[in-house]
């Protein structure tokens, strides 16, 4: 007995002796854990700061106010005010004339060219729209505010350093002087960038907008939603409620799990080979994008829908069967309505995934430069993430801010969808 | 005795009420205010001394004002119906309740005269002194040798590998498992039978030379033969350790313990020599439980 | 094709009419005693409606699938014999011209009379086909609906029949997963076989030189050394390795911290925030890598006197690692939580500290699951496209230096297939061979990982 308490005492002394080292090891390990979480969150913060920091300025646009004399001789020499004539007239010349009037001292082809470069190429179209809306303006001088060229925009936003040597600047010294004069005249200002939301893609950064990409994404997602939701719910209902346990259903299960992990680009190859080359569907069209993304999101939605069905307790089924419903009726009228919120949540998450997907769309040609806003699922289109990719590839400095802004819009959509999913889950979550 | 006597009489006037006591009677009879523990709570030379221990799980008051001594080299059995707080009390003795979220323990628990509830007490060396064996055998997914060596390794008890081997072998021998596993020490501990696994867990616990071993229904998942082996082992271990065993089986308590404590709905009702508790309980509730009126 | 929505609407109208009549007829044959019917009247309606619409939709689908092929063949047959003798690629160009003429697009060259005639013929055949399609589907719908209508008797088991049809549809939907896999395998396999006819498999798998752009001329296809994919594998491995060495420690440690240490409040905030990383589209990571991370690495390397390429493997791998952190951490979180509490109790009950419990009990117990999670993460890193397309290089270089630019399998697939392409050149076919490889490697990793994880789960159930 005393022997036992003796060994207990020595062993306890040894435990005490090791405690300092072990407490330190514990603290180190805990610190490592904190570091890991901290690093992960730091990456997230850096990512957001970098995107928002680069992109927020894209929502404002530098605009220049010009006094434009709408010269009848230039745009409507016949004076008949025919829409066809008015539509095709050279409004750019009027803009150039107004710039020359403002800076009469500028001479020489090269200098004048530099002067014209201060305003966007789209200025003429703005003027055209104004004149078409109100032909009575012809012959008068109006004050017109037009978008500045992207380089001017970058200068005004501080992305081009005015003090840098001239050779390092895209804005030359003479342009800088003109801009400074516009500034003192109060003719240069900044306004909310409507073009960014109203226009399609453009080679000119100041005119490029996300409308086309946004519509393309919406059409693509509509196709995806319309196909994947019914297909996935049906598949989930069969597999979860009716399927016998045999090799065939095992095969389907394994297949679904694997498809969920197949790289998205492989789905793009499938789309290219099957939908475009075999079924000769049009390239670059949202219909093909939607089909490919349907196949890609199906596993996600099926897995979520099965989980939703699984969470409905068997007592509901037994209750329905017990009052004489057929198995099909029990599922359709009793189980499915209860599982529907969970299925919808899964579907929204699948849609969010599809919205952010880029690689398969590159494969099926939704990466072409398309300036028009698509009007349907068969029109050539691009999608929001692909637009990000295209702009990220463009060399102009102004596209960096456009890209970041497009990303902000994309993330906003994703956040909304996920918030919706969370809301749905909270609202309908049931504990049995 | 009948706190709600009026209700009892009202119920008993109904036909058939005598044979099937209705709910109010059960509530009245068994859920009553506690008026202090009956029996010998205190010992002369205790290993552990608990005074006024209360446990709350969230809003639930799981254990009320329990005072109890645990002697040297004795087996103390804790019995009582499910949810009576016996396991909760056991887990206070090595502060395993710390790991349960929302659990608050108050009161004083002394181990060899020192309060283990004090905020500056480190649970690590405490648990090296107060070992524990759980209801379900839970060997680690490692070899038999490594299972037993786990404690000595983490606590740095062995100065050399030879010493470690010695500890492992003697612990397995003390746990009456050596003969069955000596040829397969490198096999996984999870491959043993349930009874062997539980003895492995006991070997694992005694490898760190604790002073007290807590056992939480150690035989409830085992067959009678394994149970008999463990009970025999408990009796042998008593020579060197203080043992607290929670059991749902009154017969087991009668077989292995010297003293027995009866818990009821969070109260310690009665403590006494095991023989006395089972032969001549002093409290009505103890008697009702032991004679099988409820439980 | 443009008339299809109208046709679908017509068919649906027809089927709702069929529903109405079927239901009415059920009431009629019951003679006012609805209880004498085998099924509820609605089922009789559904029965007729389904019979009306399903065969017609099947025909519609098949028709649309084959319409273009048949018309094209007819047009070619009607053209002068010299066209029929053209080789397929030339014929395709001609057909493209014809189609463009039909749609009204700009045509590559001034169309000659034969092409115009063919286009007219094409348009005419399209018109005929559309009319025939309308007639066939609507007629079929009427006939099949009528037949079903005629079958309605009180004792007819309409509910069973409807349920059989619905069950058939459900089964059909559930086989789409298999069809997709088969589609993937077939589409990449066929093109790959054509590729391997030009370039030997061994050269593709073991060749050390990758420069597909040389092989523009047909006689150069498969000229030695142009299609050796080893540098691509090496580049993919390098970037994956970098990504894993970021994602696994951070992901695993944060999963451990959040599961075993963090208070409920910290967990409730940090976990969803980390999962936001998983919801960010990969194109955003690519932009971030190219715009922020790569210049940062290049500049800080420059300060240390290192020469780092602006498209270094390090930048792409690092950002990919960040993307994969939540993937590793949420999978690890699952497997750590699957370790039974009794093992934790056992270790704590012996006086182990939390870190000892984690390192000596929980991690060893969860190891198979963690390995499975890492394998899944590797498969995701290998298949990741946008980050590497935007941040990694294009030139295939066989190097293990993370500061140099390397290219990957997915980057090459994109470069080979985006932009103008001839479908039959080995250049485009090579992309499918790479896709085949990618598919099977990720498939193998996934199957292995899912198997390991499942075995692990069973161990503790």
Best residue of B121, B123, B124 to probe chain A, by most A CBs closer than 10 Å: B124
When the pLDDT of each residue in chain A is averaged and rounded to a whole number, the result is: 88
Q: So what's the ipTM on this one? A: 0.90
Say whether residue C211 is in contact with chain A using an 8 A CB cutoff: no
Chain C residue closest to A29 (CA)?
A: C355
Alpha-carbon distances, residue C128 vs B14, C65, C134 (angstroms): 91, 16, 10
Question: Sorting pLDDT into bands at 50, 70 and 90, what band is A229?
Answer: very high
Bridge-based pairing of strands B114-115 and B103-111 is antiparallel
**Helices C41-78 and C88-103, interaxial angle, to 10°?**
120
pLDDT value of residue A129: 87
Contact C349 B96 (CB under 8 A): yes
Say whether residue B85 is in contact with chain A using an 8 A CB cutoff: no
Query: Using CB atoms, which chains have 3+ pairs under 8 A with C?
Result: A, B
What CATH number belongs to C230-459?
Answer: 1.10.3720.10
Contact B154 C340 (CB under 8 A): no
Q: Which residue has the higher pLDDT, A228 or B21?
A: A228
Say whether residue C358 is in contact with chain A using an 8 A CB cutoff: yes
Question: Sorting pLDDT into bands at 50, 70 and 90, what band is A80?
Answer: confident
Binding-face residues of B in 102-161 toward C, CB within 8 A: 123-128, 131-132, 134, 136, 138-142, 150-151, 153-155
* Cβ pairs bridging A and B (under 8 Å): 41
Contact A1 B128 (CB under 8 A): no
Say whether residue B186 is in contact with chain C using an 8 A CB cutoff: no
Contact B138 C264 (CB under 8 A): no
Q: What is the CA radius of gyration of chain A?
A: 32
Residue C22 and residue C41: Cα distance in Å, rounded?
Answer: 8
DSSP symbols for C386-408: HHHHHHS-SS------TTS----
Q: What pLDDT digit, counting tens, does each position of C119-159 carry?
A: 888 888 888 888 998 899 999 999 998 988 888 888 888 88
Query: Using CB atoms, which chains have 3+ pairs under 8 A with A?
Result: B, C
pLDDT value of residue B9: 36
Contact B136 C352 (CB under 8 A): no
Chain B residue closest to A3 (CA)?
A: B240
Residue C349 and residue C167: Cα distance in Å, rounded?
Answer: 54
Say whether residue C342 is in contact with chain B using an 8 A CB cutoff: yes
* B-chain residues near C342 (CB < 8 A): 134, 136, 138
Residue found under tokens 């490592």? A32
B99 is written with which tokens?
């790991």
Binding-face residues of B in 98-157 toward A, CB within 8 A: 122, 124-125, 128-129, 154-157
* A-chain residues near C65 (CB < 8 A): 279
pLDDT value of residue C348: 92
Nearest CB neighbour to C386, from listed A279, A389, A407: A389
Chain C residue closest to A254 (CA)?
A: C447
A424 is written with which tokens?
């749905």
Contacts of residue B88, defined as CB under 8 A and 6 or more positions apart, other chains included, come to B55, B62, B63, B97
* B-chain residues near A2 (CB < 8 A): none
pLDDT value of residue C385: 93
Mean per-residue pLDDT for A407-420? Answer: 93
Asked if residue A211 lies in contact with residue A197, where contact means CB atoms within 8 angstroms, the answer is yes
- Domain positions in chain C are 4-174, 230-459
Least confident of A6-15, A209-218, C269-278: A6-15
Residue A104 and residue B144: Cα distance in Å, rounded?
Answer: 97
Question: Sorting pLDDT into bands at 50, 70 and 90, what band is A248?
Answer: confident
pLDDT value of residue A195: 87
Backbone angles phi, psi at C105, to 5 degrees: -85, 175
Least confident of A325-329, B10-14, C202-206: B10-14
DSSP symbols for B226-254: HHHHHHHHHHHHTTTSEEEEE-S-HHHHH
Whether residue A372 is predicted with pLDDT greater than 70 in this model: the reply is yes
* A-chain residues near B154 (CB < 8 A): 22
pLDDT value of residue C106: 55
- Cβ-in-10-Å burial (0-12, 13-18, 19+) of C116 comes to middle
Chain B residue closest to C343 (CA)?
A: B138
Question: Sorting pLDDT into bands at 50, 70 and 90, what band is C227?
Answer: confident
pLDDT value of residue B6: 37
Contact A5 B129 (CB under 8 A): no
Quick count: other Cβ atoms within 10 Å of Cβ C441? 18
Closest to C350 (Cα-Cα) out of A382, B169, A157, B150:
B150
Say whether residue C139 is in contact with chain B using an 8 A CB cutoff: no
Contact A1 B240 (CB under 8 A): yes
Say whether residue C343 is in contact with chain B using an 8 A CB cutoff: yes
Whether residue C320 is predicted with pLDDT greater than 90 in this model: the reply is yes
Chain B residue closest to A11 (CA)?
A: B157
Whether residue C247 is predicted with pLDDT greater than 90 in this model: the reply is yes
- Number of H-type helices and E-type strands within chain A: 19, 3
pLDDT value of residue A237: 94
Mean per-residue pLDDT for B85-90? Answer: 90
pLDDT value of residue B222: 86
Contact B157 A15 (CB under 8 A): yes
Contact A14 B157 (CB under 8 A): yes
Residue B61, classed as helix, strand or coil, is strand
pLDDT value of residue C25: 87
Q: What pLDDT digit, counting tens, does each position of C404-415 carry?
A: 889 999 999 998
pLDDT value of residue C246: 95
pLDDT value of residue B18: 44
Asked if residue A305 lies in contact with residue A346, where contact means CB atoms within 8 angstroms, the answer is yes
Nearest CB neighbour to B138, from listed C264, C343, C351: C343
DSSP symbols for B2-27: -TTHHHHHHHHTSTTTTTS--HHHHH
Alpha-carbon distances, residue B30 vs A376, B62, C17, C173 (angstroms): 76, 16, 71, 60
* C-chain residues near A45 (CB < 8 A): none
* A-chain residues near C322 (CB < 8 A): 40, 43, 47
Contacts of residue C2, defined as CB under 8 A and 6 or more positions apart, other chains included, come to none
Residues C244-269 as b/e (b if ≥16 CB within 10 A, e otherwise) read bebbbbbbbbbbbbbbbbbeeeebee
Measure in Å the smallest separation between the Cα of C257 and chain B Cα atoms.
Answer: 15
* A-chain residues near B125 (CB < 8 A): 12, 15-16, 19
Say whether residue B162 is in contact with chain A using an 8 A CB cutoff: no
Contacts of residue A226, defined as CB under 8 A and 6 or more positions apart, other chains included, come to A290
Mean per-residue pLDDT for A152-162? Answer: 86
Question: Sorting pLDDT into bands at 50, 70 and 90, what band is C461?
Answer: low
* A-chain residues near C249 (CB < 8 A): 36
Measure in Å the smallest separation between the Cα of C425 and chain B Cα atoms.
Answer: 56
When the pLDDT of each residue in chain B is averaged and rounded to a whole number, the result is: 84
Percent of chain B with pLDDT over 70: 88
All structural domains of chain B: 1-32 (no CATH), 36-290 (3.40.50.300)
Asked if residue B267 lies in contact with residue B81, where contact means CB atoms within 8 angstroms, the answer is no
Contact B140 C361 (CB under 8 A): yes
Contact B125 A19 (CB under 8 A): yes
Contact B127 C351 (CB under 8 A): yes
Closest to C238 (Cα-Cα) out of C326, C324, C318, C328:
C318
Residue B72 and residue B243: Cα distance in Å, rounded?
Answer: 9
Q: What pLDDT digit, counting tens, does each position of B247-287 carry?
A: 988 899 999 999 999 998 888 999 999 999 999 898 888 88
Q: What pLDDT digit, counting tens, does each position of C303-312 carry?
A: 988 888 888 8
Bridge-based pairing of strands B75-79 and B242-246 is parallel
pLDDT value of residue B35: 64
Residue A190 and residue A182: Cα distance in Å, rounded?
Answer: 13
Residue B203 and residue B229: Cα distance in Å, rounded?
Answer: 14
When the pLDDT of each residue in chain C is averaged and rounded to a whole number, the result is: 85
Mean per-residue pLDDT for A267-290? Answer: 87
Q: What pLDDT digit, counting tens, does each position of B22-48 carry?
A: 444 555 555 555 567 888 888 888 899
Best residue of C35, C63, C163, C176 to probe chain A, by most A CBs closer than 10 Å: C176
Alpha-carbon distances, residue A205 vs A193, A391, C224, C456 (angstroms): 12, 9, 44, 54
* B-chain residues near C356 (CB < 8 A): 154
Whether residue B187 is predicted with pLDDT greater than 70 in this model: the reply is yes
pLDDT value of residue A45: 95
pLDDT value of residue B31: 52
Question: Sorting pLDDT into bands at 50, 70 and 90, what band is C213?
Answer: low
């Amino acid at each position: 007995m005393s022997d036992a308490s003796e060994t207990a005492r020595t062993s306890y002394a040894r435990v005490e002796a090791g405690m300092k080292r072990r407490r330190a090891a514990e603290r180190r390990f805990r610190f490592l854990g904190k570091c890991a979480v901290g690093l992960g969150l730091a990456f997230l913060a850096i990512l957001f700061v970098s995107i928002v920091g680069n992109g927020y300025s894209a929502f404002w646009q530098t605009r220049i106010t010009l006094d434009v004399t709408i010269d009848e001789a230039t745009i409507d020499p016949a004076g008949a005010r025919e829409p066809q004539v008015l539509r095709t007239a050279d409004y750019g010349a009027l803009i150039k004339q107004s710039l020359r009037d403002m800076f009469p001292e500028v001479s020489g082809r090269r200098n004048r060219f530099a002067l014209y470069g201060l305003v966007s190429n789209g200025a003429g179209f703005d003027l055209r729209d104004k004149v078409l809306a109100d032909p009575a303006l012809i012959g008068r001088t109006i004050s017109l505010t037009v978008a500045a060229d992207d380089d001017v925009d970058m200068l005004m936003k501080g992305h081009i350093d005015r003090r840098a040597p001239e050779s390092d600047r895209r804005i030359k010294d003479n342009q800088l002087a003109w801009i400074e004069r516009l500034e003192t005249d109060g003719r240069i200002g900044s306004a909310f960038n409507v073009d960014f939301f109203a226009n399609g893609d453009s080679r000119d950064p100041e005119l490029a907008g996300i409308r086309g990409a946004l519509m393309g994404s919406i059409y693509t997602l509509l196709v995806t939603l319309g196909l994947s939701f019914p297909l996935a719910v049906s598949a989930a209902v069969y597999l979860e409620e009716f399927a016998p346990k045999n090799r065939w259903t095992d095969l389907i299960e394994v297949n679904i799990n694997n498809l969920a992990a197949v790289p998205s680009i492989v789905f793009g190859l499938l789309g290219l080979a099957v939908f475009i080359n075999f079924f000769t569907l049009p390239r670059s069209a949202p219909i093909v994008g939607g089909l490919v993304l349907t196949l890609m999101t199906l596993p996600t939605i099926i897995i979520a829908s099965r989980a939703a069905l699984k969470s409905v307790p068997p007592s509901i089924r037994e209750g329905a069967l017990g009052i004489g419903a057929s198995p099909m009726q029990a599922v359709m009228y009793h189980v499915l309505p209860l599982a529907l919120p969970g299925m919808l949540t899964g579907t929204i998450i699948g849609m969010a995934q599809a919205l952010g997907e880029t690689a398969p769309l590159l494969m099926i040609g939704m990466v072409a430069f398309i300036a028009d806003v698509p009007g349907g699922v068969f029109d050539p289109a691009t999608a929001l993430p692909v637009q990000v990719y295209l702009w990220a590839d463009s060399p102009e400095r102004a596209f960096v801010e456009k890209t970041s802004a497009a990303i902000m819009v994309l993330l906003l959509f994703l956040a909304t969808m996920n918030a919706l999913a969370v809301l749905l889950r909270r609202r309908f979550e049931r504990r049995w | 005795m009948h706190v709600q006597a009026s209700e009892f009489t009202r119920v008993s006037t109904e036909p058939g009420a005598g044979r099937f006591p209705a709910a109010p009677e059960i509530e009245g009879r068994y859920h009553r205010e506690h008026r202090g523990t009956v029996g010998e709570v205190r010992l002369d030379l205790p290993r552990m001394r608990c005074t006024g221990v209360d446990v709350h799980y969230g809003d639930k008051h799981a254990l009320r004002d329990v005072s109890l001594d645990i002697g040297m080299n004795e087996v103390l059995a804790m019995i009582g119906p499910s949810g009576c707080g016996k396991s909760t009390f056991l887990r206070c003795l090595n502060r395993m309740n710390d790991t349960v979220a929302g659990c608050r323990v108050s009161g004083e628990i002394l181990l060899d005269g020192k309060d283990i509830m004090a905020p500056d007490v480190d649970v690590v060396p405490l648990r090296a002194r107060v070992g524990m064996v759980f209801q379900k055998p839970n060997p680690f997914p490692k070899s038999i040798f490594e299972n037993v060596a786990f404690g000595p390794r983490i606590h740095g008890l062995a100065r050399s590998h030879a010493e470690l081997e010695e500890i492992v072998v003697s612990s397995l021998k003390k746990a009456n498992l050596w003969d069955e596993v000596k040829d397969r020490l490198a096999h996984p501990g999870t491959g043993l039978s349930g009874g062997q696994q539980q003895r492995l867990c006991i070997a694992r616990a005694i490898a760190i030379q604790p002073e007290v071993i807590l056992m939480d229904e150690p035989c409830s998942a085992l067959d009678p033969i394994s149970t008999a082996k463990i009970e025999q082992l408990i009796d042998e271990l008593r020579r060197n350790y203080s043992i607290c065993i929670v059991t749902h089986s009154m017969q087991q308590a009668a077989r292995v313990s010297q003293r027995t404590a009866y818990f009821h709905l969070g109260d310690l009702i009665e403590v006494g020599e095991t023989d006395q508790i089972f032969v001549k309980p002093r409290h009505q509730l103890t008697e009702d439980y032991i004679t099988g009126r409820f439980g | 094709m443009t008339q299809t929505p109208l046709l679908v609407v017509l068919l649906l109208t027809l089927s709702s009419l069929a529903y109405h009549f079927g239901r009415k007829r059920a009431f009629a044959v019951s003679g006012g005693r609805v209880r004498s019917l085998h099924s509820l009247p609605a089922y009789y309606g559904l029965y007729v409606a389904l019979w009306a619409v399903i065969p017609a939709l099947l025909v519609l689908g098949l028709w649309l699938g084959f319409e273009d092929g048949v018309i094209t063949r007819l047009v070619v047959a009607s053209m002068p014999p010299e066209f029929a003798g053209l080789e397929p690629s030339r014929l395709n160009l001609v057909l493209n011209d014809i189609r463009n003429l039909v749609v009204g697009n700009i045509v590559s060259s001034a169309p000659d009379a034969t092409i115009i005639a063919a286009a007219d013929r094409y348009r005419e055949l399209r018109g005929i086909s559309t009319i025939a399609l309308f007639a066939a589907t609507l007629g079929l719908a009427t006939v099949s609906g009528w037949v079903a209508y005629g079958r309605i008797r009180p004792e007819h088991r309409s509910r069973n029949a409807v349920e059989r049809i619905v069950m058939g549809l459900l089964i059909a939907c559930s086989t789409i997963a298999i069809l997709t896999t088969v589609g993937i395998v077939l589409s990449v396999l066929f093109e790959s076989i054509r590729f391997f006819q030009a370039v030997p498999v061994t050269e593709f798998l073991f060749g050390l030189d990758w420069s597909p752009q040389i092989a523009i001329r047909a006689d150069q296809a498969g000229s030695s050394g142009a299609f050796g994919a080893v540098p691509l594998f090496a580049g993919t491995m390098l970037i994956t390795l970098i990504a894993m060495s970021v994602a696994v420690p951070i992901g695993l440690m944060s999963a451990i911290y959040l599961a075993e240490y963090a208070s409920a409040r910290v967990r409730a905030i940090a976990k969803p925030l980390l999962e936001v990383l998983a919801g960010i589209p990969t194109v955003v990571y690519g932009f971030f890598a190219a715009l922020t991370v790569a210049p940062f690495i290049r500049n800080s390397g420059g300060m240390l006197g290192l020469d780092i390429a602006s498209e270094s493997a390090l930048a792409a791998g690092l950002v990919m690692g960040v993307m994969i952190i939540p993937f590793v951490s949420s999978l690890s979180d699952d497997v750590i939580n699957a370790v039974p509490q009794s093992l934790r109790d056992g270790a704590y009950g012996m006086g182990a500290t939390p870190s000892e419990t984690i390192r000596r009990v929980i991690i060893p117990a969860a190891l198979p699951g963690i390995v499975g999670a890492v394998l899944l993460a590797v498969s995701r890193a290998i298949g990741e496209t946008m980050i590497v397309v935007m941040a990694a290089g294009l030139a295939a270089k066989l190097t293990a230096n993370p500061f140099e630019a390397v290219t990957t399998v997915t980057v090459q697939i994109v470069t080979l297939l985006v932009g103008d392409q001839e479908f039959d050149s080995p250049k485009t076919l090579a992309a499918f061979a790479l896709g085949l490889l990618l598919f099977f490697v990720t498939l193998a990793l996934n199957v292995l990982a899912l198997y390991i994880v499942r075995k692990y789960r069973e161990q503790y159930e």
